[in-house]
């Protein structure tokens, strides 16, 4: 698909906005993903895979049965993991994991992959454009990049900000992303947004939260977006 500059020099021109809205709507799926790890494992099954950000902050995450990299490597034909945390990467290597220390925002690896997974990574980066550019360089043609990021339109985020209780997702986050901003970011580097879906939230510890999420069918029937109930979103890009 042509970039918006093909149609107008004005990014807010009516035709540009209509085309962007149509493209984003086409990529949107109406159903929430129930299990993030299970979904991504299905995506990589039988593929050569690069998993970016494998440490998940601390090495203790590797002991969790839902540790993403540990699950991905069981489904992929080949799974290479990368992270910028040198000590933790070396620790994983001593445990037999195929991982290396690398910063993908600085340079791509000299390999090609069928699928690249970046789970909860992009919101930490101060050079998202270079990240997308280098991911595109490492994808085979028609390869797929799957990114998961926090959802700025998640009900809990909006409600806390509306009531004056500022929502802090992580002290290390530097950006929020939605479908339009990621569509544009991808297109700048030869990546087309193919589809995206919210990840169903399991945060229902309080009575108020359980009540709200229990009302999902009613609220959806009234026209509320499914992403309202999704703490994170999975965005999938194909190399074009």
Mean pLDDT of 191-197: 97
Mean pLDDT of 138-167: 87
More confident residue, 172 or 208: 172
Predicted local distance difference test score (pLDDT) of residue 163: 77
Tens digit of each residue's pLDDT (9 = 90 or more) over 32-87: 999 999 999 999 999 999 999 999 888 888 888 999 999 999 999 999 999 999 99
pTM of structure? 0.91
Handedness of CA 31, 195, 41, 205 (dihedral sign): negative
Domain locations along the chain? 4-151+174-205+231-239
Please give the Cα distance from 136 to 33 (Å, whole number): 25
First-to-last CA distance in the chain? 9
Q: Which CATH architecture has domain 4-151+174-205+231-239?
A: 3-Layer(aba) Sandwich (3.40)
Predicted local distance difference test score (pLDDT) of residue 208: 66
Predicted local distance difference test score (pLDDT) of residue 213: 72
Edge-first strand listing for the sheet containing 99-101: 99-101, 78-83, 48-52, 113-119, 139-150, 230-239, 191-200
Predicted local distance difference test score (pLDDT) of residue 192: 96
């Amino acid at each position: 698909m042509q970039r918006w500059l093909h149609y107008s020099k004005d990014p807010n021109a009516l035709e540009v906005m209509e085309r962007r809205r149509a493209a984003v709507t086409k990529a949107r799926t109406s159903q929430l993903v129930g299990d993030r790890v299970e979904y991504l494992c299905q995506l990589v099954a039988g593929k050569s895979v690069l998993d970016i950000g494998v440490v998940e902050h601390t090495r203790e995450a590797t002991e969790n049965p839902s540790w993403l990299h540990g699950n991905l490597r069981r489904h992929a034909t080949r799974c290479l993991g990368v992270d910028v945390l040198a000590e933790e990467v070396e620790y994983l290597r001593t445990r037999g994991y195929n991982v290396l220390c690398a910063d993908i925002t600085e340079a791509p690896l000299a390999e090609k992959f069928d699928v690249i997974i970046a789970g909860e990574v992009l919101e930490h980066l101060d050079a998202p454009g270079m990240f997308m550019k280098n991911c595109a360089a490492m994808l085979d043609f028609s390869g797929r990049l799957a990114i998961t990021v926090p959802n700025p339109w998640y009900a809990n985020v909006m409600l806390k900000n509306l009531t004056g209780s500022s929502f802090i997702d992580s002290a290390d986050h530097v950006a929020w992303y939605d479908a339009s901003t990621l569509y544009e970011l991808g297109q700048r580097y030869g990546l087309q947004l193919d589809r995206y879906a919210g990840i169903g939230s399991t945060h229902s510890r309080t009575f108020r939260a359980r009540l709200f999420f229990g009302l999902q069918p009613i609220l959806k029937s009234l026209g509320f977006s499914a992403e309202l109930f999704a703490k994170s979103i999975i965005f999938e890009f194909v190399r074009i």
